[in-house]
Each structure stands twice: as structure tokens, then as C-alpha cells.
Structure 1
Amino acid sequence: MASFKVTGGRKLSGEITPQGAKNEALQILCAVVLTAEPVTIHNIPNIRDVNQLIDLLGDMGVKIRRLSESSIEFDASQVNIEYLESETYKAKAAALRGSVMLLGPTLARFKKGRIPSPGGDKIGRRRLDTHFTGFMKLGAKFNYSAEDGGFYEVDASHLTGAYMLLDEASVTGTANILMAAVLAKGTTTIYHAACEPYIQQLCKMLNRMGAKISGIGSNLLTIEGVDILGGTEHTMLPDMIEIGSFIGMAAMTQSEITIKNCKIPELGIIPDVFRKLGIKLEFRGDDIFVPAQEHYELENFIDGSMLTISDHPWPGFTPDLLSIILVTAIQAKGTVLIHQKMFESRLFFVDRLIEMGAQIILCDPHRATVVGFDRKQNLKGIRMSSPDIRAGVSLLIAAMSATGTSIIDNIEQIDRGYQNIDTRLNALGAEIVRI
């Protein structure tokens, strides 16, 4: 197990380019299984979760030709579907939450799919009902076997288009059902679909491959099934969660940085939420300039009541950035209520922040009140452990702003979602040592 030794109090300066979007990568990479023709993907992030999925695709028989550090050509013309029965597949897929999105493509093309209970962040209940209910609406038969560690099996000899109202606007559920529906007979209508930029990117890629998807960017998607899909070329968006993390990091460490190539129109309300914390941002073309700020003051609502920031399905504020907002508010002037609606374990990392000296009241598993310091005191360095990807980076931001040295254990969680984060931040002036 690796750790970060972080020396706090270092101000950053310079330019940093966000990696390709992790959450987009996991579904885009699974989509290459839908066609026997080559698919080239650009701006692939070099992170653990993505690399594990690429490795899994290779084991399935997908030919992988690396064109550059971030570009790969995939050829799924000779997929070995029997690999899904192997112990190796079980072990690798169980360790990777994104493996669940292989079900839609394998159902569509090979009429069956199989995954073990998938892994990922321990941030609360993350049910798969939306995925399987959607598959069954399309005519698939679902079976869960609790034996041998738990396996989800789906058979789909005849997928047929159907109307469905999703019980939640699940991003991975929408992606999975989309990928199954593009090769189904007839028309599929998905209402209450997720409409995140990642889903829009997947839809555009599938349409370039020959799919017929309309309603892109809305919560009502219509898919006219086709018989076959072809190859394509696709470039992934920059990771909006990394962009938000860098904004919060700059504010907490009083640093002046420029975040390059942000695809600002795809960020939705993310910049506006950081502005509610009092953080100044300048858009310079497609770059975001964050000036060094000695103070930033939280907004109140128009009636003077305390600011509340909560997560919502897109185009609302993404839950993946609430941990970053929470830690950034520690040095703001004012008080804010953070309401994490989706995951009941995602705020438990605040215990570590309280141990560092933060003024936070954990009201319940979903809500925390942060009373900002306004720079009147600093956090202090401690030893702590990263419970999940987003909390891990939030703790890293706290450590970088603290007085003294911090040790963050279990940084494999951070590596799952952030590409060479220590090297990239050290280039800006941070002092992070991997031990």
C-alpha cells in the first residue's frame, strides 16, 4: 500500500491540463465491443480504473494498438465471449465498478452478458436495479446467482425496443441501456434518462458508428435499433471533476493557476457553484484562470439565509464535486450546509478534516455544516487514509493547505481517478512525496 507525504503551506503557480474524463472513459471503452470494426479513442486518462478496463478488454480478445500515450485503436472483431465464464474474468471484473457497463454491449452483440458483483468506491449503496430493469424491458432474462461470490447473468436472444421510465437518472444505467438498445429491433424510448455530457458524448459516438439516437442532451432519449455498427474515432472531454478539484485546490492554497483546455461550455453550473463560495474565476478562451485569493466569502441566499449546496442529476451540480466544495469551504468566510443526497457514506471522511481542526458539524450521513475560518487559522497536518477517489483528493487539498506534514494512506484510491497527480502538482510547486 502506498502513501503520500504532503508538506503543507506551499503555494502553486503555473498551468495544468486536465486529464480525459474518467467517467466518460469507462463507458466509451465498453462501447468498442459493439462493433467488429476498429475504433480509435483519444484523450484516454492514464489512471488505474481505466487501465484495468483496457486490460480486461484485451483479455476478452479485443486487439489493442497504442498510437500514443493517450490514444488507442481497439479492434473487437474477435471477442472471446466464453472468457466471461473464467475465474480470471471474475477476479478482474469484481475489482472494477466500470465492468458493469460491459453488459449492454455484450448483450447487444453476443446476446448474453455476465458480471460478478462489481467493486468501486465504498460510498454507500449503489444498486444496479436500473440497469437490469432496463435490460428486462428490452426482453432480456435476468438471473442473479449468490453462489461463488455472486454473479449477475443476462440472456438476450431477442432484444426488442420498448418504452421505459427509469426509476433514477443513473448515468451508468442510462449508458448501459443505450448500448443494449442500439442493436435491438424496433424503437426504444428512455424517459428520465441521465443527460450528463458523458452520456451526450456516448450518444454522439454511437451515432457516428451508425446508431440512430435522438433527444441527445435531454432526459428523453429515442433509439431506433439498427442491425450493425461500424468503426469511428472519438476524443474524450477533459475531466470536469479534475477541473473542479484544481479550482478548489487553488483557492485553499492561495495559488494562481491556469487550467488549460477545459471545454467550458460542457461544465454546466460547476464554475457558478465555486463562485458562490466567493472564488474568482476568469475564462480566457477555453482556459480557466484562478487568481490567488487571500479571502473568499460565501454567498447567502437573497433572503439572507445560509447557503446550501446540494447535488442533483445533470444539469444540476454533480455529486462527485461535493467533497471538493466541502473542503474548500473550510477557509471561506461564512457558513454553508453541504447536502449529499445520493450516497450515504460519502461525507464520513469529514472526521479526518475535524481532526485537522476544521469546524464541521456532521448533521447526519447526508448533511454537513462547514463554518469557514476566513484564514484566521490553518488546518494542521495529520496521518489519515483515503476512503474513496473524491474524498482522497479532498484530503489531499486539505493537507496541501495545512500547517506541517500530513501522511495520506491508501492512495491507490486517488490513483484510480487522478493521473500522476503527485507529479503534476509538484510541477506547480507542491511538495508531495510518494512513499
Structure 2
Amino acid sequence: MEVFKIEGGVHLKGEVIPQGAKNEALQILCAVLLTPEKITINNIPDIIDINKLIKLLGNLGVKVEKLGHGSYTFQSDEVNVEYLETEAFKKEGGSLRGSIMIVGPLLARFGKGYIPKPGGDKIGRRRLDTHFEGFINLGAKFRYNREDHFYGVEAPDGLVGADMLLDEASVTGTANIVMAAVLAKGKTTVYNAACEPYLQQLCKMLNSMGAKITGVGSNLLTIEGVEKLGGCTHRILPDMIEIGSWIGLAAMTRSEITIKDVSWENLGVIPNVFRKLGITLEKRGDDIYIPEHKDGYEVKTDIDGSILTIADAPWPGFTPDLLSIVLVVATQAKGDVLIHQKMFESRLFFVDKLIDMGAKIMLCDPHRAVVIGHDFKSVLKATTMSSPDIRAGISLLIAALSAKGTSTIQNIEQIDRGYERIDERLRAIGAKIVREKQ
């Protein structure tokens, strides 16, 4: 087992380049199963979850060739669908939540798709109903083996387009349904569709392969089924969650950092949410410049003077993946913030570790926490802690980098699942962090 040892209280300085977007890459990689032709994908992040999915695709028979850092070609002309029913697949597919998105492409192209109950972050119940109700609407038969926790959908005669209203604007659910519908007979309309930039990217990629998807960027997608799809070249966007993490890190450590090539037009409300916390962000071309906050940062209250509330919501609302970072940043703000995590019931439980470090946080219930900012008058104390999930893990890392003393973070595989070589990149801008075996 590996741990991070972090000496906190060091001011950082320099430039960082965000990795490719994890959540986009999971969708895009599954889409390679829709065609026998070669697909080239650039800016793929080198992280555990993505590497697991690439390995799974290889075991399915996809020909994978690495061209260079972050660049691969994929050719799915000899897919072994029988692998889906092996014990090896049950183990491999169950270790990665993103594996659920292979079902739509396999169902569309081969008439069947199976998946074990997916793994991933332990942040509360994450239902799969939206995915499978969408497949059933397209004409698939659904089955579930409770003993093995194994899901299956089959459509030996092919899928047929349908009108559907999703019960929730699930990003992965929308992606899965869209990938199934592009090869269905006739027209499919998906209302209450997710419209995150990464889903827009998937739709643009599919259209470049010959799909006919309209309404991209809205919550109503129309898909005219086609008989086949071809190859393409696609570049993955920078990861907005990592960009938000770097912003939070800069503020908490009062460091001067430039985040390069962030794709501003795809950041939505993220910059403004950090500005509400009093953090200064400058747009310099397509970069974000965060100056050294020597005097700290002051929370902006609502117009009527009431406490600022930051809550997550489906796009174009604030992403739930950044609420953990916002919560940590608020611990050293001047002022108070109510964090309202609406979408996952277990994501705020990591605050007990921050309280141990000296943060003033009141956990109201599984969804809400009030943070009383220290205004840097009282620094956090170093401690030993364990990373419960990707986003809480990076939040604890940010806290440790601002704390007084040397902290130890265990279970850092959770951080490695979503952040590429984070220790190396932190050292490059002056952080004192080492990876050790225990």
C-alpha cells in the first residue's frame, strides 16, 4: 500500500496543464465499440480508472495501440462478445463504475450487453435504472441475476427508436442511451437528457462517425438511427474537475498559479462559484491566472445579507464533483458558507477528518454542512487520514498542503483513480510531497 507524506504550509508557484477529462474519456472509450473502423483518441488521462477501461476493451478483443502520451488508436473489428459471460469479466467489470457504458454500444451493435454491478466511489447509492429503462424503451429485454449481481440486456432483432423522458438527467445514463440509439431503427427522442460538455463531446464525436444527433447541448436530443458508423479522430477536453481542484489548491495555499489551456467556454459556472468565495481569477487568453491571496479571500453573502449557499445541480448548474473542494476552501475563507450536496447522500462524511485538523464545520445531515471560515487566523493541523473517494481524497490533499506540519494520506489509490501523477505535478510547482510504500 502507498501513502502520501505532505509537508504543509508551503507557498507554490508555477504553471500547470490540466489532464484530459476523466468523465469524458470514460464515455468516448466505450463509443469505440460502435464501429469496426479505427478510431484515434488524443488527450486521454493516464489514471487508474481509464487504464482499467482500456484493459477491459483489450480483453474484449479491441485492438489497442498507444501512439504516445495520451494518444491511442482503437479498432473493434474482432470483438469477443462471449467474454462478457466469463468470470474474469465479472471481476474486471465490477471494479469500475464507468464500465456500465459499454452496455449501450454492445447492445446496439451485437444485440446484447452484460455488466456486473459496477464499482467506483463509495458516495451513496447510485442507481442504474435510467440506463436500463432507456434500453427497454428501445426494445431490449432486461434480466438481472440477484445472486451474482449481474445485469443483462438483449435485443437479437435489433433496437427500435422511441420517445422517452428520463427519470433523471443522468450523464452516464444519457450517454449509454445515445450510444444505443445511434444504431437503432428509426427516430429516438430523449427528453430530460444530460447536457454536460462531456456529453456534448460524445455527441459531436458520434456525429463525426456518421451518426445523426440534433439538439446537442440541450436537454432534448433527437437521434435518427443509421445502419453503421465509421472511424474518426477525437480530442478530449481538459478536465474541469481537475481545473477546479487547482483553483482550490491555489487559494488554500495562497499560491500564484496559472492553469493553462482550460477551455473557458466549457467551464460553465465553475469560475463564478469560486469568485463567490472571494477568490480572484483572471482570464488570460485560454488560461486561468490565480494570484497569491496574501490577505485571504472573503465570502460574498447573498443580496439580502444571508449566508452564501453553494449547491450542486445538473449542468449548467454546479458539478457535485467540486463540492468537496469548495468545502475545504471555505474552511479558510473570511465568512460562512452552507454546502448543500443534493445528489449523493454519503459525500460529506469526510468532513470529520477536516474537523480533526481544526476546521469549523457543522454537519447538519448527510446532505448539508455549514463551514465557518478561519480567515487564515488559525491554520489547519497536520494529521493522518485515509482517502474515501476521488474527490474527498483530493480535498484532503489540498487541506494537508495548507496545514501546519506533516500529514499522511492513506488509500491514495482513490486519488490516483482520477488524478494523473498528482504528486509529480505538485512537486514541479514547489510542493513537498512524497509517495511512500507502507
For Structure 1 versus Structure 2, the TM-score category normalised by the shorter chain is over 0.9
Q: Which structure 2 residues correspond to residues 301-380 of structure 1 after superposition, within 5 A?
A: 301-380=302-381
In structure 1, distance between residues paired with 2:133 and 2:144: 13
Please tell me the residue identity of whatever aligns with 2:327. L
Q: Shift of the alpha carbon at 1:235? A: 0.1
The residue that corresponds to 1:399 in the other structure is 400
The residue that corresponds to 1:266 in the other structure is 266
Please tell me the residue identity of whatever aligns with 1:380. K
Q: Shift of the alpha carbon at 1:257? A: 0.5
The residue that corresponds to 1:154 in the other structure is 153
Q: Shift of the alpha carbon at 1:74? A: 0.3
The residue that corresponds to 1:94 in the other structure is 94
- SS of residue in 2 equivalent to 1:113: strand
Q: Shift of the alpha carbon at 1:138? A: 0.3
The residue that corresponds to 1:207 in the other structure is 207
The residue that corresponds to 1:429 in the other structure is 430
Question: Aligned-residue CA RMSD in angstroms?
Answer: 0.5
The residue that corresponds to 1:382 in the other structure is 383
Please tell me the residue identity of whatever aligns with 2:369. A
In structure 1, distance between residues paired with 2:347 and 2:149: 25
Q: Which structure 2 residues correspond to residues 95-110 of structure 1 after superposition, within 5 A?
A: 95-110=95-110
Q: Shift of the alpha carbon at 1:146? A: 1.3
Q: Shift of the alpha carbon at 1:241? A: 0.3
The residue that corresponds to 1:278 in the other structure is 278
**Consecutive aligned runs of 4 or more in structure 1 exceeding 6 Å deviation:** none
The residue that corresponds to 1:415 in the other structure is 416
In structure 1, distance between residues paired with 2:286 and 2:78: 40
In structure 1, distance between residues paired with 2:102 and 2:87: 17
Comparing 171-180 and 1-10, the one that deviates more: 1-10
The residue that corresponds to 1:221 in the other structure is 221
Please tell me the residue identity of whatever aligns with 2:282. E
In structure 1, distance between residues paired with 2:398 and 2:219: 34
In structure 1, distance between residues paired with 2:101 and 2:70: 21
Q: Shift of the alpha carbon at 1:150? A: 1.1
In structure 2, distance between residues paired with 1:20 and 1:47: 10
In structure 2, distance between residues paired with 1:222 and 1:136: 18
Please tell me the residue identity of whatever aligns with 2:394. V
Please tell me the residue identity of whatever aligns with 1:350. V
- SS of residue in 1 equivalent to 2:233: strand
In structure 1, distance between residues paired with 2:101 and 2:188: 18
Residues 221-275 of structure 1 deviation map (CA, whole Å, 9 limit, x = unaligned) = 0000000000000000000000000000000000000000100010001000000
Residues 109-167 of structure 1 deviation map (CA, whole Å, 9 limit, x = unaligned) = 000000000000000010000000000000001000012x3100110122100000000
In structure 2, distance between residues paired with 1:321 and 1:150: 31
Q: Which structure 2 residues correspond to residues 181-192 of structure 1 after superposition, within 5 A?
A: 181-192=181-192
In structure 1, distance between residues paired with 2:138 and 2:75: 27
Q: Shift of the alpha carbon at 1:88? A: 1.1
Please tell me the residue identity of whatever aligns with 1:423. E
The residue that corresponds to 1:235 in the other structure is 235
Please tell me the residue identity of whatever aligns with 1:374. D
Q: Shift of the alpha carbon at 1:2? A: 1.2
The residue that corresponds to 1:289 in the other structure is 289
In structure 2, distance between residues paired with 1:12 and 1:376: 20
Please tell me the residue identity of whatever aligns with 2:344. F
Q: TM-score, normalised by structure 1?
A: 0.99
Q: TM-score, normalised by structure 2?
A: 0.99
Residues 199-242 of structure 1 deviation map (CA, whole Å, 9 limit, x = unaligned) = 00000000000000000000000000000000000000000000
Q: Shift of the alpha carbon at 1:278? A: 0.3
In structure 2, distance between residues paired with 1:254 and 1:270: 19
In structure 2, distance between residues paired with 1:405 and 1:142: 52
Q: Shift of the alpha carbon at 1:86? A: 1.0
In structure 1, distance between residues paired with 2:146 and 2:2: 33
Q: Shift of the alpha carbon at 1:331? A: 0.6
Count residues in correspondence. 434
Q: Shift of the alpha carbon at 1:284? A: 0.5
Please tell me the residue identity of whatever aligns with 1:48. I
In structure 1, distance between residues paired with 2:11 and 2:79: 50
The residue that corresponds to 2:114 in the other structure is 114
The residue that corresponds to 1:7 in the other structure is 7
In structure 2, distance between residues paired with 1:388 and 1:431: 23
The residue that corresponds to 2:56 in the other structure is 56
Comparing 291-300 and 149-158, the one that deviates more: 149-158
Give the % identical residues.
Answer: 70
In structure 2, distance between residues paired with 1:331 and 1:426: 23
- SS of residue in 2 equivalent to 1:67: strand
Residues 286-316 of structure 1 deviation map (CA, whole Å, 9 limit, x = unaligned) = 0000001021000000001000000000000
Q: Shift of the alpha carbon at 1:341? A: 0.1
In structure 1, distance between residues paired with 2:241 and 2:325: 9
Please tell me the residue identity of whatever aligns with 1:243. I
Please tell me the residue identity of whatever aligns with 2:376. R
The answer as to 2:168 corresponding to 1:168 is yes
Please tell me the residue identity of whatever aligns with 1:153. G
Residues 384-416 of structure 1 deviation map (CA, whole Å, 9 limit, x = unaligned) = 000000000000000000000110000000000
- SS of residue in 2 equivalent to 1:40: strand
In structure 2, distance between residues paired with 1:228 and 1:213: 14
Please tell me the residue identity of whatever aligns with 1:404. G
